[in-house]
Chains A and B, each alone.
Chain A
Amino acid sequence: MRALHRKLIRDLLGSAGTLVSVIAIIAIGTGSFIGLGSAQRILEASQQAYYRDYRFADFWVDVKKAPLSAVERIAEYPEISALHSRVVFDVILDLEGEVRPLTGRLISTPDQGFDHTINGICLVRGSGFSDDRNEEVILSEAFAAAHGLNIGERITLILNRKRQSFVIVGTAVSPEYVYMVRGVGDLVPDAEHFGILYVKDRYARDVLDFKDSCNQIVGRVARGGQVDVDTLLDRISRDLAPYGVIETTPRKRQASHRFLSDEITGLGVSATIMPAIFLGVAALILNILMLRLAQRQRTNIGTLKALGYSDRRLMAHFLGFGVVVGVLGGVAGMGLGVGLAYAMIGVYRTFFQFPEFLTRAQPDLLLIGMVISVVFAVFGAARGVREVLRLQPAEAMRQKPPERGGTIVLERLPWFWRMLGFRTQMAMRSVFRNRTRSVTAIVATALATAITFMALAMYDSFLYLVDYQFDMVAHSDVDIGMRDEASMPALYESRALPGVDEAEPVLGVRCDLQHGAQSRRMTVTGLSTEHRLTTPRDASGEAIQIPDEGLVLSRKLAELLDARVGDVIELTPVRGRRETRNVHVASIVKSFLGIDCYADLHYLSRIVGESLAVNSIQLAVDPVQSAALFREIKELPNAQGLSVRADAKHNIEKTLVETSVFSIGLMVIFAGVISFGSTLNNALVEIGDRIREISTLRVLGYRPGQVAGILFRQSAVTFLVGLLLAFPLGYGMVKLVAAAYDSELYRMPVIIRPVTVVLTAVLAVGFLLVAQWIVYRQIAKLDWRAGVQVKE
């Protein structure tokens, strides 16, 4: 082995303590790159394979009732490669031992070959439909698992106003419900209260009065040509218009697909930003370390140059530090990354229902991670060494001239400066004279604290979102959806249900909204004039009253339609007389889930051109009587769906807490490593540089704590500046994340609770104190008797 290699190894071992923190930060950077990148690829590959193997649809068309003959005509479009018609209904489920009626989505499915149809289903348990009987059901696996339902057991559905018992013959997953939400507007899957029920196709059509007809068409487009699905859907809408097209959904707007795709995109963004932050900080710290190492080895460098070593060769020698640190950080990062990927897939398993996660190793990502790690480390090292290498050997061999001893800016305020006392003065001078080191410390503290702040603030955002949507806007305890529209007497009947304090009618009408070039098909929600159970709120959070005329849009919808208050929108109901009306935007409200459009119930009925009707009822109920109420609801023939606000809220909160513990915990640990590593590293470099000064103070009789106090003051100054910068920086990060997630599915409110600010500061101080404790131990252990004899 060459002598310089030996020197490299011994120098590395000699500064192992300080290098560990850099290696840890690099490992986190590389680990997050590999972990997030792998998770993204695994998710994407699983999605693609699943969509391909089970023929995930390119579009959905919901109609009131279309004859199969009309569907067959559409199937002949050249753009369409496959078409499948089915019957889809939300139904009430009555499970034995479950007080609450649950909502199920019944989907008619071919008796055989259901795995080969569009949106094919993949059996997880059971053997599928038999020839023995009609009343068989395949349940979505997550729902079955949530209720401990097994093959051969029975469940009761209310089908076409009749209670019907079904035998469970299988459990399954489907590409349509990878993320099992009812639709846009739901935030997280709720397997306990919502399940998919696959029943035999012919039987479903018979029992639901859909013989030779259907209410949903799903299709795939021909792969070869560039098919514009939106244009295709327009054409299908026109052709099926006589049968009442309720909704057309291209894949890009399908709820499950959007959640999954957004997650994959988000992972890709995180896999770029996180590593960049961590590796950037690592490079800065390594830069300081190397500068110091090079300065300490000034004489060595000069001697080697005098011996005839070229700058290039010496550069290579010092870059060896970078390479070793980079490789060690890279290897640790690989381990961390693989672990992180597995942990993330573990979390995703609870959200996304796949037949299998394609958890392949990603050798190229590992390799790229390693390369990035080494490049950042070498870059950090190079910057540090360059300055010393530039010197002529004779100059390098002379001791470095004393540090600039001039006064610092604070000394221009003599009254303030004198107040500080000599130990603080020493600390302040050091902060001002070692600018690069101080700036790095500030940057590291600011970034680390901002990351912690962002992680905690995101939790605040979600909590606020849930409170806002489930307490401030919605006040009803139970919402009952009805299969067929009912007239007002149904409302009075519902008021007679046990424990009902209040009941309000709601009419949801699918409408096309058009403003200029922008258009949207969506449900306009008609609220009663005296609505108290739903209170949309304006931007300032004030509840607003739905006006007698005009529409109330949520901010996101207004953005999508490019509409402002007072603008006139063309509204066309997709049922009834379908007359286009010009309606004005009366106000814009704040909403974080889905997109909303409200109107007065009577006004909406007039627009549709029908007499007053309702299709769901909101109830405020006395919790004591809820069991009796649920029993009655199970018997309501017209009930189609049910949602209990407390359950929905609880489900979201539970899911958020579970995932937040993982993601916030991870972020805080990562941020802690940056903060702790940087503080510790700076202090250790400082001890090395000032060993003589520290030793002298010890000789004079200062206790280790008093000496450590000087270094602590110095860290505290950069820490405080970093902390002050961290909050605006963190706030900016929260804003950026909120902007990144601003979609039709949901928006993140930018809300920061005071406790988050306090907790962030406490965590940051905690990291600082732990690092300072180690510094104190180092000073206590320092051989100060030898220190005073160190040759300058």
Chain B
Amino acid sequence: MAVASDSRVASRALMRIEGAGRVFRMGEVEVPALVDADMSINAGEFVVILGPSGSGKSTLLNLIGGTDRATCGHVWHGDSDLAGMSDGELTEYRRTVVGFVFQFYNLIPTLTAYENVQVATELVANALNPTEALAMVGLGERADHFPAQLSGGEQQRVAIARALAKRPALLLADEPTGALDLPMARNVLAILQRSNREQGLTIVLITHNPAIAGIADRVIRLVSGRVAEKRVNEKPLAAADVAW
């Protein structure tokens, strides 16, 4: 285990975060959720951001995903700074670059699995076919089911299919196994790991569960809104070997 050298990765960095911070205003009080974050996400990397509840990891993910804006610092995607983008540019960024997977799946309850994926594929020109995307997560047979008719693990796989279908450069997963039991969680992690290894998809996964950090190429640990540790896993675990 060694501390990653930033100079080594800078050349193939997909995202660079420099001094990024986010302050929430609650009435009169200002709450800093993320302070002076610096890091890079390299193309093809599987990064796990680890931290307890309230450590600022979701905030960081939102800044990287362009669903929120930093109050200070920079979030670079290539040469573009997300902090300086208009709403329209951010929308375009989310549309073409990022795929999201959420803890509670965030499927639209009135749409079937197929249609939930279709919601994403309709947005981009070179998207996967929804059937194909659902087959990738092993749900080809359940395409016509509504979210309420699927288990938690199945719903999360639909959400992954929805994210993958857009062929994003970067997949952001916010506690994707947080609501699942171990077998289901392994299943979901395996799909993510496969996408990373076979298709070279860059993945940033946030979790409070240290057990999951084992599958990452690199782990960034947050404590109280600050980066506390960055480490490289020389031998990442296979998803099937994750246990807690």
Known: A3-B116, A305-B91, A310-B88. A392 touches B100 (CB 8 A): no
Given known contacts A305-B67, A307-B123, A392-B68, A3 and B118 CB-to-CB distance under 8 angstroms = yes
Partner of A393, one of B68, B123, B124: B68
Within the complex, the shortest CB–CB distance from A664 to chain B, in Å, comes to 44
What's the tally of chain B residues with a CB closer than 8 Å to chain A?
31
Contact with B along A284-322 (1 / 0, CB 8 A): 000000000000000110111111111100000000000
A206 at the interface (CB under 8 A from B): no
What 0/1 readout, one digit per residue, does chain B (104-125) give for beta carbons within 8 Å of chain A? 1010101100011011101110
Q: A393 to chain B: which residues have CB within 8 Å?
A: 62, 67-68, 94
Cross-chain contact A11 with B110 (CB below 8 angstroms): yes
4 closest cross-chain pairs (CB), A and B: A308-B95, A393-B67, A10-B110, A394-B62
Q: Which residue of A lies closest to B120 (CB)?
A: A307
In the complex, B221 has a CB within 8 A of chain A:
no
B69 at interface (Cβ–Cβ under 8 A)? yes
Residue of A nearest to B59 (CB): A394
Smallest CB gap from A4: residue in B: B119
Residue of B nearest to A393 (CB): B67
The residue in A2, A4, A394, A397 that gathers the most chain B C-beta atoms within 10 A of its C-beta is A394
Using a CB-CB cutoff of 8 Å, which residues 47-83 of chain B contact chain A? 58, 62, 65, 67-69
**Cβ contacts A to B, 30 pairs, < 8 Å:** A2-B118, A2-B122, A3-B111, A3-B122, A4-B119, A7-B119, A11-B110, A300-B106, A300-B108, A302-B106, A303-B100, A303-B106, A303-B108, A306-B98, A306-B100, A307-B94, A307-B100, A307-B123, A307-B162, A308-B96, A308-B166, A309-B123, A310-B88, A310-B91, A311-B91, A392-B68, A393-B62, A394-B67, A397-B67, A397-B106
| Nearest Cβ on chain A to B165's Cβ, whole angstroms | 10
Contact partners of A223 in chain B: CB under 8 A: none
A133 within 8 A of B: no
Q: How far is the CA of A393 from the CA of B106 in the complex (A)?
A: 12
What range describes how many residues of A lie at the interface?
A: 20 to 34
Please tell me if A360 contacts chain B, counting CB pairs below 8 Å.
no
Does any Cβ of B come within 8 Å of A363's Cβ? no
Of the candidates B92, B96, B110, the one having the most CB atoms from chain A within 10 angstroms of its own CB is: B110
Chain B hits for A395, CB < 8 A? 68
0/1 interface trace, chain A 757-792, chain B, CB 8 Å (1 if under): 000000000000000000000000000000000010
A310–B115 Cα distance when bound, in Å, is: 19
Q: Are A299 and B106 in contact (CB under 8 A)?
A: yes
With most chain B CB atoms within 10 A of its CB, the pick from A3, A6, A7 is A3
Q: Inside 8 A of B88's CB, which chain A residues have their CB? A: 310
A516 within 8 A of B: no
Is A305 within 8 A of B119, CB to CB?
Answer: no
* Closest Cβ–Cβ distance, residue A12 to chain B (whole Å): 10
A14 contacts chain B at the CB level, 8 A cutoff: yes
> B87 interface residue, CB < 8 Å from A?
yes
Would you call B110 and A303 a contact (CB within 8 A)?
A: no
- Chain B: which residue is nearest A11 at the CB level? B110
Instruction: Establish whether residues A7 and B123, one from each chain, have CB atoms under 8 Å apart when the complex forms.
Output: no
User: Can you name 9 extra interface pairs (CB under 8 A) apart from A307-B94, A308-B120?
Assistant: A2-B118, A4-B122, A6-B111, A303-B106, A305-B94, A306-B67, A307-B100, A309-B123, A394-B68
Contact residues, B167-224 vs A (CB, 8 A):
none
| Chain B residues, CB < 8 A from A303 | 100, 102, 106, 108
Complex interface residues of chain A between 1 and 55 (CB less than 8 A to chain B): 2-4, 6-7, 10-11, 14
Min distance, Cβ A6 to any Cβ of chain B, angstroms = 6
Asked if residues B111 and A307 are in contact (CB atoms below 8 Å), the reply is no
Complex-state Cα separation, A767 to B110, whole angstroms: 34
**Contact residues of A between 93 and 123, Cβ < 8 Å to B:** none
Q: How far is the CB of A531 from the nearest CB of chain B, in Å?
A: 80
User: 0/1 per residue, A601-635, Cβ < 8 Å to B?
Assistant: 00000000000000000000000000000000000
- Name, among A3, A305, A308, A397, the residue most crowded by chain B CB atoms within 10 Å (CB to CB): A308
Residues of chain B within 8 A (CB-CB) of A7 are 108, 110-111, 115, 119
- Shortest beta-carbon distance from B130 to chain A in Å: 9
Q: Which of A3, A309, A791 contacts B115 (CB 8 A)?
A: A3
Determine how close the nearest CB of chain A comes to the CB of B97; give it in whole angstroms: 9
Minimum C-beta distance from A457 to chain B (A):
48
